[in-house]
Homo-oligomer: A and B are copies of this chain.
Amino acid sequence: MNLGRITGQVRIVGAGLLGASIGHGLRAKGVDVILHDASRTTATLAIDYGAGRAPQADDKPSLVIVAVPPDVTAEVVARELMAWPQATVTDVASVKVGVIDELIALGADLDRYVGSHPLAGRERGGAISARADLFIGRPWVIGRGEPFRRRAIEDVVIELGAIPVTMSASEHDDAVALISHVPQVVASLLAHRLAGASDAAVGLAGQGLRDTTRIASSAPELWVQILGANAGPVASVLREFQAELAVAIEALENPDAPGSRRALAEVLAGGNDGVARIPGKHGTSKQFSRLVVIIDDKPGQLARLLTEIGEANVNMEDLRLEHSPGAQFGLAEISVLPEKEATLLSELEARGWKIAETFA
């Protein structure tokens, strides 16, 4: 029973986290999902978990989704285009220009191919970690191409709860270089500086350091592939970063030279401008007021706090927990609309909560 807009068979090649998650999501909507993987064990496992069914001799997929590692994506897309002469074929690789270049070199039928890329969280897992709702609310880039082919992919994206975004392959690769690949390199370079630091120095670490370096814990194997596949756009953004870094270092090494303070101020103001471009909740970059509440580090405390925020009829816009090393309590940073701050502050204080800090 298909309740949605997808009427044909969907064939998924590659039963890792992305492929199996697409399978689960589409099957939940009643779609006939054919699952194939080069590894029979992987395919069987994903099918056992309910991500799709095994291929049959009379399969006739209208859409093929290739969800294999980036370095073999083009080859598999070309093979699928040959195998299913009517089908639309897409892939979900995180870099797009290289796939098209390879497909051209392979002489593939590009009329039926439109690349895509779901920006779906952490790329860990495999079939066991797959989830029907992995894509809910996430952007999913679909390449420019033949409208009929694009529509077939868009139908899947919408069924999975993702938000379709149209971009050419090079627009996409430039965008992900900027918003994902360069931050990864920069976070890794920054975190590496800590490798030789004293315990005393890292013991002073606050939330700022934790935030700026968190993604530096990503898997090197995967990221070498991603960076290699998008090397040009990543290098180009890093070159700009490098030029401004040189200005900052020059200013710091000559702090009393004329213009040095101004150069540093411009670096910092540039950062202000940039961070203001990142869309916040509901697509806005609205500024919230924040309250920092002290909570005991035991079950139920945070729930009680949030229940009481709810009772105060204040909608929490964001929440962040912070633990102090060695301390038996935590800090909950609560963001609310500025006009709600005073109400919340007095309600919480009336209920005995200790507010560590408030700022707009």
Contact = CB atoms under 8 A, between A and B. Distances in A.
Interface in A29-53: none
Contacts of A224: 261, 264-265, 268
A114 interface: no
B244 A242 contact: no
A167 B136 contact: no
A315 interface: yes
B204 A215 contact: no
Contact of A136 (B183, B237, B244, B294): B294
A186 to B, nearest CB: 5
A253 B268 contact: no
A175 to B, nearest CB: 4
A324 B186 contact: no
Contacts of A267: 185, 188-189, 192
B202 A179 contact: yes
A40 to B, nearest CB: 25
Interface residues of A, number: 136
Contacts of A315: 298-299
Interface in A196-224: 197-198, 200-206, 208-218, 220-221, 223-224
Nearest to A213: B275
Interface in A112-145: 119, 121-122, 124-125, 129, 131, 133-134, 136-139, 141
A358 B240 contact: no
Interface string A241-277: 1101110110011010000110011011111111111
A201 B178 contact: yes
A26 to B, nearest CB: 16
Given A178-B197, A189-B248, A310 B299 contact: yes
A354 B136 CA distance: 11
B201 A190 contact: no
B195 A273 contact: yes
Contacts of A260: 228
A228 B201 CA distance: 20
26 contacts: A119-B204, A136-B324, A167-B200, A178-B197, A179-B194, A179-B206, A180-B209, A182-B190, A185-B267, A188-B272, A190-B274, A194-B275, A195-B274, A195-B277, A202-B279, A203-B283, A211-B215, A213-B274, A228-B261, A234-B252, A235-B253, A238-B245, A238-B248, A242-B245, A299-B313, A319-B321
Given A182-B193, A220-B272, 12 more contacts: A178-B194, A179-B194, A179-B202, A183-B213, A190-B274, A194-B275, A194-B278, A195-B274, A209-B278, A211-B212, A227-B252, A232-B253
